[in-house]
Amino acid sequence: MKRSLICLGFTILHLALFAQKKPVATPFILQGKLTNYPEKFFFLQTYNAKRERRVDTIHVKADGSFYFTDSSNINAQKAMIGFGSMFHSDIFVAPGYNLILTSDSKEFSALSFTQNKKLTGKGSESNSFLFKRDAIMASNKMPQEWYEMNEKDFITFLKKSNKLNDSLFRVVFGHHAANDNYFAFFKQMTTLDNTFQNFYYVVVHSLIDTSFSAAQMRSFVTDNVDKTILNDLYNEKYLVSEWYRTAMSDYVSYLQKLECKEAPASCEGKNYNVQLLDEIAKHYKGKVKQIALFRFMNNNLTYCRSFAELNTYKKEFPQFVSMLEDKTNQQKIDTLFAKMENTLLKTQVGQLAPAFVAEDSTGRQYSIENYKGKVVYLDLWASWCGPCRHETPYLKKLVEKFNGDASIAFVSVAVLDKKDKWKEALADDTPQWLQLFDTNGSVQSAYVANSIPKFILINKEGKIVSFDAPVPSSGEEIEKLLRAEIAK
C-alpha cells in the first residue's frame, strides 16, 4: 500500500498555482557556498504561471561557491533544490529575493546539510520556517515512520506535528517583514501547507489501516480534520499549497476505497485508474476538478506500461476528456494517445523484443539478441528506486530456483541511473545474475520504461510474451509463467 500511495502521489502532484500579478521585472538571486559538496552542480526546480516545469543547473566551483540569477520574472513559489540523487530541499523564491545559502560540514550529506544549512539575505525571513522545521525534524528523528504507526501513536504524532508547526509559525510569521513584498504571500501559503499536511497524514493513514471499515475510515477523517476544510475542500484558493495538491492526489484513493468497501460490486473487474477518474468526476469541483482530470489522464498515459493498458484507456478515457473545458487540454490528451500508441505498438505480445546493447560493470557489452533460444526475464530498475530494490531479494530467490537451467536467462538493466550509484547498489545487494547499465538511455526508450520497476518476459524466439510481467514478489505466479515458457 505504501508503495502504491507513493506512486499515486505522482498523479495530481502538479496542480496549478494561483495566477500571480506580474510584478516589476526584478531578478531573483541564489548564491552561496557549500563546503565539501562532492558534485559540480545542483538543480533548482521552479514552475511558471502555467505550471510548466523548469529545471536550472547551478554550477558549483571547486571551493563550493555558486551564483545563480534569474531575470525572467520568476513567480513567487515554493521551489525545490535538488542535490543529484542524494536528496532535495524546499525553498521560497520570488522576484527581488537575494538568497545566500551556505552549508559547512566535514561530509556533505542530507543530514549534515539539513542541520547546518543557513540562509541569509533578502527573502531569508520567510524561508526561516522551512529551514527551522527541517533542522528540528532532522535532530529529532522518530524511531518509527508515521505511516507505520498504530492509531494511538499516530494521533500522538499528529498532535506533536501540529504543535511544532503552530509554534514555528508564530515565531516566523508573527510580525511584519518591512522589506519583503512576498512575506504575506508565503505566510498564507504556510498556513495552508500546515493545514493540508495534517489532512494528508490523516487521509493516508486511513488508507493504510486495512482494518478500517468504511464507517471507521469516514469517522477517522472527520474526527481529525478541521470541519471547515472538509466542507470547502474544492476551493481553488487552496491550490497555492503544495500539501493541498499532494493530499488531493491521495484523497481520490480514499474516495475510491470507501466506494469499494460500501459497494464492492461497483469495483469488480474495473481498471483501478478508471475508478479514480470516476471519483474525481463525481466529487471534485470547479478548477480543482479540471486540473485533476487533465493531470491524472496525462500522467497515466505518460506512464502507461503496455499496449493492453493503453487500449483500456482508449475505451474509458473519452468520457473524461469530454469533461475538460479547455479544448487545448483535450487536444493534448488526444496527441498523447497517438504518441503512446505509436511507441507501444512495437511492444505488443508476439513482437520481437526491441534490440539493445548494454555494458556490465567491467565494460563488456551484451545484446538481447545473444539470448535467442533462451527464455529471458528482463528486469528494468534503478538504484534510487525503492520499489525496485524491494523486489531484489525476491528476484534472488527466483534466480536460485532456476539455477543450472541453461534454457532461461535473468538480465537486469539499470535505467535512468548514475553509474557510481548503480555500482554501489550492486555492492550492497550482491546479485549473482547479469547486471547491465543503460549508458545512453536506449534501453529505457526502447522498452518505454517511464515507470519502474518493469519486468518483461521474452520467449525463446526473442518475442515478447508479457510486456508487464508479474514481479518476483508475486511468487508462484511468475514461477509458473517462467516454467510454462521453458517447457515450450
What is the grid cell recorded at 256?
475510491
Q: How confident is the model at residue 105 (pLDDT cuts 50, 70, 90)?
A: confident
* Mean pLDDT, range 309-322, rounded to an integer: 95
Structural domain spans, the chain: 24-122, 357-486
What is the pTM assigned to this prediction?
0.76
What is the C-alpha separation between 358 and 367, in angstroms, rounded?
7
What's at 33, amino acid-wise?
A: K
Tens digit of pLDDT for each residue in 158-195?
Answer: 999 999 999 999 999 998 888 899 999 999 999 999 99
Q: Is the pLDDT of residue 212 over 50?
A: yes
* Mean pLDDT, range 261-286, rounded to an integer: 94
**What does the pLDDT read at residue 24?**
54
Q: Which residue has the higher pLDDT, 302 or 115?
A: 302
**What does the pLDDT read at residue 199?**
97
Tens digit of pLDDT for each residue in 278-307?
Answer: 999 999 999 999 999 999 999 999 988 888
**What does the pLDDT read at residue 115?**
78
Q: What are phi and psi of 58, to 5 degrees?
A: -105, 115
Do 130 and 242 touch, CB atoms closer than 8 A?
no
Segment among 250-254, 449-453, 476-480 with least mean pLDDT? 449-453
Tens digit of pLDDT for each residue in 23-73?
Answer: 456 899 999 999 888 888 889 999 887 778 888 989 999 999 999 999 877
Helix (H, G, I), strand (E, B) or coil at 36: coil
What is the grid cell recorded at 433?
545474475
Tens digit of pLDDT for each residue in 395-441?
Answer: 999 999 999 899 999 999 999 888 988 999 999 999 999 999 999 89
Q: Is the pLDDT of residue 137 over 90?
A: no
Q: Is the pLDDT of residue 2 over 50?
A: no
Q: Is the pLDDT of residue 264 over 80?
A: yes
**What does the pLDDT read at residue 8?**
39
Query: What percent of the chain clears pLDDT 70, i.e. is strictly above it?
Result: 94
Segment among 74-88, 142-156, 286-300, 352-366 with least mean pLDDT? 74-88
Q: Is the pLDDT of residue 348 over 60?
A: yes
Q: Is the pLDDT of residue 362 over 60?
A: yes
* Mean pLDDT, range 143-163, rounded to an integer: 90
Q: How confident is the model at residue 17 (pLDDT cuts 50, 70, 90)?
A: very low
**What does the pLDDT read at residue 19?**
40
**What does the pLDDT read at residue 108?**
74
* Mean pLDDT, range 5-13, rounded to an integer: 39
State which fold the 357-486 domain adopts: Glutaredoxin (3.40.30)
* Mean pLDDT, range 85-113, rounded to an integer: 83
**What does the pLDDT read at residue 12?**
39
Q: Across all residues in the chain, what is the average pLDDT? A: 89
**What does the pLDDT read at residue 3?**
40
What is the C-alpha separation between 265 and 467, in angstroms, rounded?
29
The angle formed by the CA atoms of residues 24, 25 and 27, to the nearest 5 degrees, is: 130
* Mean pLDDT, range 304-323, rounded to an integer: 93
Tens digit of pLDDT for each residue in 224-243?
Answer: 999 999 999 999 999 999 99
What is the C-alpha separation between 437 and 458, in angstroms, rounded?
19
User: What are the distances in angstroms from CA 348 to CA 305, 341, 422, 447, 456?
Assistant: 11, 10, 29, 11, 11
Q: Is the pLDDT of residue 202 over 70?
A: yes
State which fold the 24-122 domain adopts: Immunoglobulin-like (2.60.40)
> 126-132, long-range: CB within 8 Å, 24+ apart, which pairs?
126/92, 126/172, 126/177, 126/180, 126/182, 126/183, 126/186, 126/187, 127/91, 127/92, 127/99, 128/172, 129/168, 129/169, 129/172, 129/173, 129/190, 130/90, 130/91, 130/92, 132/168, 132/171, 132/172
Q: Which residue has the higher pLDDT, 104 or 130?
A: 130
User: What are the distances in angstroms from CA 390 to CA 384, 394, 480?
Assistant: 11, 8, 21
Segment among 85-89, 273-277, 340-344 with least mean pLDDT? 85-89
